[in-house]
């Protein structure tokens, strides 16, 4: 079964006709991951679609067509076409229009990113082999209001966020519309389930609390009946005690309706507390 992350990337590979500056934005996003092998740069991946995403950008930049080696695709890029190497230089000279930043970050995500299934957790991360590059991308993201945390995993540097709003907005920003709406649907469903669980847990806690209270009052009433001190109770307390011991399973609200005249749940509670106070007082004396 395809993962949420894989489905998101499949959607991002599909791009319509772009301005020339946007193609350069894609190319320079790739350039951040080029490997210097002396006479040229090389980009290597086992993902044919990712290689095609690069290959379709700027044809004159490539020395050769993709080469297949050990199930990996290699593309050799001429060194003289790379004019800028830092994020600051790329930002100032390459990212020309509003869509350039979108395509730049979309490409970085396609190369180094992943996003967890929102049904399980909220996490989006970008992985880099270069700490300087990771910090530059982190600052770049912060400039456009995406705050990512950083960590180190073995020999790689990770930028990540666990905030659902940041994950959701970032997916929308890079153009993963289907993933964005699926993420929202999952988030809403999870929140509804959590709310239902909280309500259920609260109901269970209230039921347990009510049962504990019922046992306490029944114990007091049985004690008063056994010792004959039941007769010391006022008429209204006697009526309440008698109904309580005879109808152990009913709620305070239902018990209040059976009294003459009927009283509220709160009224029943106060009467039972008075009975329990009498029980404690008599028991302490004996």
Tell me the per-residue pLDDT of 53-64, one tens digit each, with 9 for 90 and over. 886 556 667 766
Per residue in 158-197, pLDDT (tens digit) is 999 999 999 999 999 999 999 989 988 887 777 766 666 6
Pairing of β 72-77 and β 41-45: antiparallel
Query: Please, are residues 20 and 186 in contact by the beta-carbon 8 Å criterion?
Result: no
pLDDT band at 276 (very low <50, low <70, confident <90, very high): confident
Domain-by-domain residue ranges, the chain?
Answer: 4-175, 206-285
* CATH 3.10.28.10 is the classification of domain 4-175: yes
Paired residues of 126 in beta bridges: 113, 159
Per residue in 69-95, pLDDT (tens digit) is 767 888 888 888 888 989 999 999 999
**pLDDT value at residue 206:** 52
**pLDDT value at residue 171:** 93
- State the Cα torsion 99-105-108-113 to the nearest 10°: -130
* 75-79, 146-150, 280-284: range with lowest mean pLDDT: 280-284
């Amino acid at each position: 079964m395809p993962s949420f992350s894989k489905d998101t990337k499949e959607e991002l590979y599909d791009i319509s006709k772009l301005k020339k500056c946007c193609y350069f934005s894609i190319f320079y996003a790739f350039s951040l991951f080029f490997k210097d092998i002396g006479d040229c740069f090389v980009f290597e991946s086992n993902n044919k679609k990712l290689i095609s995403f690069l290959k379709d950008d700027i044809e004159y930049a490539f020395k050769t067509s993709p080469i297949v080696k050990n199930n990996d695709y290699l593309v050799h890029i001429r060194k003289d076409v790379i004019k800028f190497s830092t994020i600051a230089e790329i930002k100032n000279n390459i990212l020309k229009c509003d869509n350039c930043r979108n395509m730049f970050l979309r490409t970085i995500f396609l190369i180094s990113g992943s996003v967890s299934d929102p049904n399980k957790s909220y996490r989006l991360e970008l992985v880099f082999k270069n700490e300087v590059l990771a910090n530059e991308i982190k600052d770049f993201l912060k400039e456009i209001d995406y705050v990512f945390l950083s960590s180190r995993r073995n020999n790689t540097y990770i930028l990540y966020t666990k905030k659902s709003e940041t994950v959701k907005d970032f997916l929308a920003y890079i153009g993963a519309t289907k993933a964005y709406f699926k993420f929202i649907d999952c988030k809403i469903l999870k929140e509804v389930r959590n709310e239902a669980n909280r309500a259920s847990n609260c109901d269970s806690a209230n039921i347990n609390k009510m049962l504990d209270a019922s046992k306490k009052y029944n114990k007091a009433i049985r004690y008063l009946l056994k010792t004959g001190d039941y007769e010391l109770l006022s008429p209204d307390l006697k009526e309440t005690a008698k109904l309580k011991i005879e109808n152990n399973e009913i709620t305070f609200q239902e018990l209040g309706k059976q009294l003459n005249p009927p009283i509220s749940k709160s009224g029943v509670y106060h009467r039972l507390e008075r009975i329990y106070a009498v029980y404690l007082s008599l028991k302490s004396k004996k």
